[in-house]
Amino acid sequence: MDPDEVQRAQQVLDRIREDLMSRTGVHAVFIGLLPDQHGIPGQQIGIRVVVDPVTVETHLQRLPRSIDGLPVRVERGAPAPEE
């Protein structure tokens, strides 16, 4: 993975994190390798948005497919347990 690409992705995420996390049903946002069609992590870095399963369809419709050239992947998931 190209370190410059990771740095650029982190800068984009830092800029949009607050907006994404303020949306109802969004549990987490992070950069990571996007899985291929078989669910195996590939080589493409992107923004991963973890949302409540109940709201996934809404987020699929409302979130852009990419932000500043980085693909956005919406994933079903539960919030992380609080410590």
Burial class from Cβ neighbours inside 10 Å (0-12, 13-18, 19+) for residue 16 reads middle
CA gap 75, 25 in Å, rounded: 11
CB 59 within 8 A of CB 26: yes
The whole-model pTM stands at 0.87
One digit per residue, pLDDT tens: the chain, 83 residues?
789 999 999 999 999 999 999 999 999 999 999 987 787 778 899 999 999 999 889 989 999 999 999 999 999 998 777 76
CATH number of the structural domain 3-76: 3.30.300
What type of residue is 61? Answer: Q
pLDDT for 53: 92
